[in-house]
């Protein structure tokens, strides 16, 4: 009796070992197959075949070792049943339909540019009141991928001052083109789109106003085409060169989330489908895109942003709300990844004398050196420190933001003094 008990216990143990080995083999096969193809059915088939084969061989060999089975048929049946159960258990959360975005339809003021770069770009335009000034204003939104709802109140005020004002949804976000191959989302593509827009406007020079990533994009455009920029305003600009900073897209924002906000963001970011897509993106971005399409990825991205947007503000400010426009998940992920591989643009920018205003909010979550890198790199730059403002200065202090931007563009005295120290105020 003890011998029979030990044999059966050993058999149960071997089945459990076979199950674990089969799961590991299935996951390995799923992601290894992505090196060769982006077809999700092929990835699933590879995982199921690996699970069946590993479970069958491990189970049959283990049970035979304990003298509990000589025929392969029981092991084959057990492997088939286990494969069906595994496929259902893994497939339901992985392929369950997810919420899709319900973004605003293009309004009457939204138009489209079909650029020679291949991008179809949605934009809004407010013509100048009176005779237009020589250089139009182009607003660059943040993210990458967090498109605004057309032209802001600040843009409308600048139109009243005689500027032609444009705001556009960058490639991969809002109502603009989503690329079938997400590897096409690069900093160079965004710079090329912006220069194509300048040429479409028929402007030799443009004025750039960039928020967060938009400021970073303006910096890359300045490095590539300084002769085509009349002035630039960089509000809470992103990382100029990642080689000089370990700060990433989320930066210190994650540390500012409340436990409830962090739990919400983590639950969205770690959903089975999102997790699988992010792992696949490391192997084959096209496979990630095939598994988690733009509609579902963009809606997940919106919910993650919604869970964390208030942490980017100064404490006590009225709660912020996201634009109704649709964000772009893949342009965010791929453009940031591309930016982290770029060579240092600062040697080139040190020769650029374009007048540039750099704005920094008191409660900005980005490291001080991220902002100050622009001030010490661009010889024609002025830094302004805005009290009681977070990362989105125009949201926390709209009146101050508008007053500073208008004064700078119109050549008037700034309502806040330039900040000249290399360290932040204490």
**Per-residue pLDDT tens over the stretch 186-200:** 999 999 999 999 999
- Of 138 and 276, the one with more pLDDT: 138
Residue 73 makes CB contacts below 8 A (sequence gap 6+) with none
Radius of gyration, alpha carbons of the chain? 27
pLDDT for the residue numbered 57 = 83
- Mean pLDDT over 22-46 rounds to 93
Residue 70 banded pLDDT, cuts 50, 70, 90: low
pLDDT for the residue numbered 64 = 56
Give me the chain's average pLDDT, please: 89
The crossing angle, in degrees rounded to 10, of helices 2-33 and 40-65 is: 160
> What is the model's pTM?
0.89
| Weakest-pLDDT range from 57-61, 163-167, 202-206 | 57-61
pLDDT for the residue numbered 45 = 95
pLDDT for the residue numbered 16 = 81
Full strand arrangement of the beta sheet holding 381-386: 110-114, 120-126, 165-168, 137-140, 206-211, 229-235, 356-361, 381-386
* DSSP alpha helix (H) spans, 35-120: 40-65, 73-95
- Mean pLDDT over 51-55 rounds to 90
| Weakest-pLDDT range from 12-21, 128-137, 151-160 | 12-21
Residue 315 banded pLDDT, cuts 50, 70, 90: confident
pLDDT of 66 > 80? The answer is no
Residue found under tokens 């806040």: 416
pLDDT for the residue numbered 186 = 98
Question: What DSSP designation does 412 have?
Answer: P
pLDDT for the residue numbered 272 = 86
- Mean pLDDT over 300-326 rounds to 85
- Of 282 and 405, the one with more pLDDT: 405
- Of 215 and 17, the one with more pLDDT: 215
Residue 72 banded pLDDT, cuts 50, 70, 90: low
Bin 57: left if φ > 0, else alpha if -120 < ψ < 50, else beta.
Answer: alpha
- Mean pLDDT over 61-73 rounds to 58
pLDDT of 46 > 90? The answer is yes
pLDDT of 257 > 80? The answer is no
CB 191 within 8 A of CB 220: yes
- Mean pLDDT over 291-314 rounds to 88
pLDDT of 235 > 90? The answer is yes
pLDDT of 334 > 80? The answer is yes
Percentage of the chain modeled with pLDDT above 70: 90
Residue 76 banded pLDDT, cuts 50, 70, 90: confident
pLDDT for the residue numbered 255 = 75
pLDDT of 349 > 80? The answer is yes
Task: List the end-to-end C-alpha distance of the chain, in Å, as a whole number.
Answer: 79
Element housing 112 (H / E): strand 110-114
pLDDT of 116 > 80? The answer is yes
Q: Apex CA 121: angle with CA 337 and CA 174, to 5°?
A: 65
Separation of alpha carbons 250 and 242, rounded Å? 13
Residue 156 makes CB contacts below 8 A (sequence gap 6+) with 126, 165
């Amino acid at each position: 009796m003890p011998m029979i008990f030990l044999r059966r216990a050993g058999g149960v143990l071997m089945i459990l070992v076979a199950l674990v080995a089969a799961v590991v083999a299935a996951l390995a096969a799923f992601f290894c197959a992505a090196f060769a193809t982006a077809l999700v059915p092929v990835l699933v088939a590879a995982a199921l075949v690996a699970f069946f084969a590993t479970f069958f061989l491990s189970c049959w060999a283990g049970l035979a070792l304990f003298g509990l089975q000589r025929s392969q048929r029981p092991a084959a049946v057990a492997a088939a049943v286990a494969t069906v159960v595994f496929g259902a258990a893994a497939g339901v959360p992985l392929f369950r339909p997810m919420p899709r975005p319900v973004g605003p339809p293009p309004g009457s003021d939204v138009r489209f540019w079909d650029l020679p770069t291949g991008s179809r770009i949605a934009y809004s335009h407010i013509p100048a009141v009176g005779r237009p000034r020589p250089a139009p204003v182009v607003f660059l939104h943040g993210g990458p991928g967090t498109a605004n709802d057309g032209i802001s109140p600040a843009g409308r005020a600048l139109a009243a001052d005689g500027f032609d004002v444009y705001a556009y949804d960058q490639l991969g976000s809002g109502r603009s083109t989503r690329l079938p191959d997400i590897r096409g989302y690069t900093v160079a593509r965004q710079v090329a789109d912006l220069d194509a827009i300048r040429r479409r406007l028929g402007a030799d020079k443009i004025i750039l106003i960039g928020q967060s990533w938009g400021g970073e994009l303006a910096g890359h455009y300045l490095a590539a085409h300084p002769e085509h920029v009349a002035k630039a305003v960089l509000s809470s600009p992103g990382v100029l060169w990642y080689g000089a900073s370990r700060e990433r897209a989320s930066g210190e924002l994650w540390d500012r989330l409340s436990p409830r906000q962090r739990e919400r963001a983590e639950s969205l970011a770690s959903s089975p489908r999102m997790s699988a897509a992010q792992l696949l993106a490391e192997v084959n971005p096209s496979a990630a895109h095939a598994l988690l399409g733009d509609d579902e990825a963009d809606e997940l991205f919106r919910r993650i942003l919604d869970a964390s947007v208030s942490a980017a503000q100064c404490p006590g400010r009225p709660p912020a709300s996201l634009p109704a426009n649709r964000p772009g998940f893949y342009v965010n992920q791929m453009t940031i990844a591309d930016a982290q591989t770029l060579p240092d643009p600062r040697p080139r920018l040190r020769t650029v004398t374009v007048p540039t205003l750099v704005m920094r909010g008191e409660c900005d979550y980005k490291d001080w050196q991220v902002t100050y890198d622009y001030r010490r790199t661009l010889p024609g730059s002025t830094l302004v420190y805005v009290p009681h403002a977070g990362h989105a200065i125009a949201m926390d202090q709209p009146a101050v933001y508008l007053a500073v931007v208008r004064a700078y563009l119109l050549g008037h005295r700034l309502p806040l003094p330039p900040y000249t120290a290399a360290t932040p105020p204490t």
